[in-house]
Amino acid sequence: MIDETFLTTEEVLEYLQVNLRTVYRLIKAGRIPAVRVGRQWRFRKADLDAWLDSQRRGGRAEARRAEPGAPVRLEGVGRRVLVVDDEESIRELLTKTLELAEYEAQAVSDGKAGLELLRREPWDLLIADLRMPEMDGLSLIREARRLHPRLPVIIVTGYSSESSAIQAVNLGVVGYLVKPFRIPHVLSAVAKALGEQD
């Protein structure tokens, strides 16, 4: 027998444990089936369950749904990005940009604090400034490579031709942002680093 239970948007927020912007983004991308009823969206529970199963089987989703209502890690949603930069304005710009694009971002002002977070928590991407006091970006990247050899890294620099940027590329960084940078450039570099676009 087919499950014809329909959920409201509010019920879907609770069921998937995501925010409203994420649900709309998933509808627009055609990832979750939804039916428009007047000014409201309705979601068939069977369709949501099938979509969740496909996410789990996809290999990139790391969620394990032990029981209804447990948080779900969705592909491309809520990926964790660590920003390490000694300039407050750059940290704020990057974190706000990332959060608006549904990434989970955290920023710290120096390499030592960044390294401590890399040791304690899982991250999907590191964005690091090259020039910082005490522990510079290159030292941070080297340590990050020892801890997490496959962690994608994007470097931030104010100098497009500096030799440390070349060294960073030799360490296997996957992206390069030159200050001042534009928001679309940031999002494009992050999406490429995370394999979300070609």
Confidence class for position 74, pLDDT limits 50, 70, 90 = very low
Count of Cβ atoms closer than 10 Å to residue 3 Cβ? 10
Single pTM value for the model: 0.61
Confidence at residue 77, expressed as pLDDT on a 0 to 100 scale = 55
Instruction: Report, as an integer, the average pLDDT of 23-36.
Output: 76
User: Residue 105 and residue 22: Cα distance in Å, rounded?
Assistant: 15
Residue 149 confidence (pLDDT) above 80: yes
Q: Calculate what percentage of the chain has a pLDDT beyond 90.
A: 30
Mean pLDDT of the chain: 79
Confidence at residue 78, expressed as pLDDT on a 0 to 100 scale = 62
Confidence class for position 70, pLDDT limits 50, 70, 90 = very low
Six token digits for residue 190: 């992050």
Residue 183 confidence (pLDDT) above 50: yes
Instruction: Report, as an integer, the average pLDDT of 111-140.
Output: 92
Confidence class for position 146, pLDDT limits 50, 70, 90 = very high
Parallel, antiparallel or unpaired: strands 6-8 and 40-44 = antiparallel
Helix axes 9-16, 45-57, angle to 10 degrees: 30
CA 142 to chain centre: 22
User: Residue 54 and residue 75: Cα distance in Å, rounded?
Assistant: 10
Confidence at residue 66, expressed as pLDDT on a 0 to 100 scale = 35
Exposed e or buried b for every residue in 150-170, given b needs 16+ CB within 10 A?
ebbbbbbbeeeeeeebebbee
